[in-house]
Amino acid sequence: MREEDLHGELWPYVLTLLPPDLETHAREAKALRRARGVKSAADLLRLFLAYGVTPLSLAGVAAWATAAEVASISAPALFYRLRDGVEWLSRLLASVLADTLKASPDPSGYRVRIVDATSISRPGSEGTDWRVHVLADPSSGKLAAVDITDVHGGEGFARHPLSPGDLVLGDRGYAHARGIAAAKRAGADVVVRINLATLRLCDSDHQRLAWQELEARVPLVGAIDLSCKMPEPPATWNSHKTWPLLRAASWTAVRLIGVRPRAGHVVWILTTATKERLSAAAVTELYRLRWQIELLFKRLKSLLAFDQLPARTEPLARAWLLSRLLAAALVERLTYVEPALSPWGYCIRTP
């Protein structure tokens, strides 16, 4: 299946995966205030997808739309439509991803999720201009939630829609006390690789652990599993090193698990899950699933050219990114085969 076909021969199937009240949806998000050359919300979305998944410029998409009798629109008018459609694209993406957020639990009783972010640069840029923060389902490799920020949007568990029963896997970029505490308050548990030098951990008496001494206790084969307390910095403090523990906003019970791969160095994994729920061995096995999201990003960048942002301006860049992500989510829905049913690949309903 080619993503370019979403606005072409696959369009009737795409419509079945979208909200049935597409017109109301578009007008509430102020994406379709007046028709003016675009007859319906469906035609407007078709324009957006054409811009997002093809190499066509704004003028090229406008010419295609006129030739295909989808819409009568100029390149400048399409630019303004895209600018005003960002909120609508965000809502559509959330709607398409909603089923993945309700996925069935893992045999451990958790709904396992993976979080990560990838950087996007605009043409001619030498650094990061955008970050795409993704929550993914490792059992299917599908997107579950997406957030787009500029370069200042940092990684964190609190950025994603977490629910009771979720177990979220993250790399060291997510090893921040505020984010871990926020996930726990949402009813979720986390498994995250950490650097003991940058995250405060304390014993039951609220005395900071001497992490240099802990490394010597990690066996060559096997693991150590320590019960600890993690302080959350006060809301007015930005540095994790200078605030006094007496001013901690909260204390979260966590476990610190240390293992050695064959290379011999120590890997530290922190989890908020209890020993009764997950053993140390189960935690380390689950953390290995985190690599699934690296494959997801590789797929996005290779199949959707996700790292080849053509737009330079902020509204157009956001619209392009959202259009590509919506295309990826739609393709996943169209190609995913349900294990207990024939692979229809779309919803049997009248669009």
| pLDDT of the residue at 351 | 42
In a domain, 24, yes or no: yes
| Beta strand residue intervals within the chain, DSSP E | 111-120, 130-137, 142-150, 166-170, 189-194, 223-232, 250-259, 267-271
* Better-scored residue on pLDDT, 338 or 79: 79
| Tally of residues, the chain | 351
**72 φ/ψ angles, rounded to the nearest 5 degrees:** -115, 100
Same domain flag for 178 and 53: no
Confidence of residue 317 (pLDDT cuts 50, 70, 90): confident
What is the average pLDDT across 102-115? 74
| pLDDT of the residue at 103 | 58
Mean pLDDT of the chain: 83
The residue out of 293, 326, 346 marking a domain boundary is: 293
Is residue 50 over pLDDT 80? yes
Same domain flag for 203 and 281: yes
| pLDDT of the residue at 192 | 94
Confidence of residue 4 (pLDDT cuts 50, 70, 90): low
* Better-scored residue on pLDDT, 121 or 80: 80
Same domain flag for 109 and 197: yes
| pLDDT of the residue at 329 | 83
Same domain flag for 62 and 199: no
In the chain, what is the straight-line distance between the N-terminal and C-terminal CA atoms, in Å? 21
| pLDDT of the residue at 330 | 85
Closest by CA position to 274, among listed 293, 251, 246, 255: 255
Strand partners, 229: 202, 253
By percentage, how much of the chain surpasses pLDDT 70?
87
Same domain flag for 228 and 274: yes
In a domain, 304, yes or no: no
| pLDDT of the residue at 3 | 52
In a domain, 350, yes or no: no
What is the average pLDDT across 130-148? 84
| pLDDT of the residue at 303 | 61
Is residue 346 over pLDDT 50? no
By percentage, how much of the chain surpasses pLDDT 90?
27
Contact (Cβ atoms closer than 8 angstroms) between residue 154 and residue 174: no
Contact (Cβ atoms closer than 8 angstroms) between residue 186 and residue 164: yes
Confidence of residue 256 (pLDDT cuts 50, 70, 90): very high
In a domain, 179, yes or no: yes
Rg, the chain, Cα only: 23
Is residue 49 over pLDDT 70? yes
For residue 37, the surrounding DSSP H or E stretch is none
Rounded Cα gap, residues 181 and 187, in angstroms: 10
In a domain, 116, yes or no: yes
Is residue 153 over pLDDT 80? yes
Same domain flag for 67 and 105: no
Rounded Cα gap, residues 249 and 214, in angstroms: 26
Lowest mean pLDDT among 52-66, 126-140, 150-164, 216-230: 126-140
* Better-scored residue on pLDDT, 291 or 279: 279
What is the average pLDDT across 41-51? 91
Q: Give residue for tokens 């901690």.
A: 248
Confidence of residue 350 (pLDDT cuts 50, 70, 90): very low
pLDDT one-digit tens code per residue, 167-215: 999 998 899 999 999 999 999 999 999 987 778 899 888 888 887 788 8
Same domain flag for 144 and 194: yes
Q: Which long-range contacts (CB under 8 A, 24 or more apart) does 63-67 make?
A: none
Domain containing 320 equals: 3-84+310-335
Q: Tokens for 297, please give them.
A: 């990003």
Total domains in the chain come to: 2
Confidence of residue 106 (pLDDT cuts 50, 70, 90): low
Same domain flag for 167 and 206: yes
Lowest mean pLDDT among 98-102, 255-259, 329-333: 98-102
Same domain flag for 245 and 195: yes
In a domain, 344, yes or no: no
| b/e per residue 88-101 (b: at least 16 CB within 10 A) | bbbbbbeebbeebb
Residue 264: CB atoms within 10 A of its CB come to: 7
Rounded Cα gap, residues 75 and 48, in angstroms: 12
Same domain flag for 32 and 68: yes
Closest by CA position to 168, among listed 278, 251, 268: 278
pTM of the model: 0.78
| Helix boundaries (H) for 5-128 | 11-16, 22-28, 41-53, 58-67, 75-84, 86-101
In a domain, 89, yes or no: no
DSSP 187: T
| Helix boundaries (H) for 85-148 | 86-101
Contact (Cβ atoms closer than 8 angstroms) between residue 336 and residue 99: no
In a domain, 298, yes or no: no
Confidence of residue 229 (pLDDT cuts 50, 70, 90): very high
What is the average pLDDT across 123-134? 82
Contact (Cβ atoms closer than 8 angstroms) between residue 132 and residue 148: yes
Contact (Cβ atoms closer than 8 angstroms) between residue 145 and residue 94: yes
Closest by CA position to 200, among listed 143, 150, 239, 148: 239
For residue 106, the surrounding DSSP H or E stretch is none
Same domain flag for 288 and 316: no
Same domain flag for 159 and 276: yes
Confidence of residue 2 (pLDDT cuts 50, 70, 90): low
